[in-house]
Structure 1
């Protein structure tokens, strides 16, 4: 599942999207808004925009490439759009595989 949404990411829901009886490992990544960037220490939030059709196409390309390199069972990705406040997740990725070798 690849989704672009304004709603907050619920990690447990994302993980459950890739959970299965055959999966022996689930790996997650969450990109979180922090209070500073390369030029400022006054970040109070970020506003994300996306051309959704193109973004989903590009994310699928990345997932397909990863699937060629690693024994991935399932992938779930949520990219936020709109305002994302400090400490909130702007992207969440969950990947399952049979085991966690690579």
Structure 2
């Protein structure tokens, strides 16, 4: 039903608003058990997505770390390598 929610903290460049919104949407989809809410639940669903996105952005803005920022391309390559080993496929 949902893609995995990905780590958004400590990347260069920082997570975009679109990435935060996508993570919030995936979270709300997961906990609600639906990818498309009924018309009766659409407003509650949208409100929850906005609230989760806002909370996520607040968290990302307040987190501190001493680790150097990670590179998105390097992390994606590592993930592909792990998937290839796990599923026995070529990347």
TM-score (norm 1): 0.25
Q: TM-score, normalised by structure 2?
A: 0.28
- Structure having the higher helix fraction is 2
Higher Rg: 2
Greater RCO between the two (CA within 8 Å, min separation 6)?
A: 1
Q: Which has the higher strand share?
A: 1
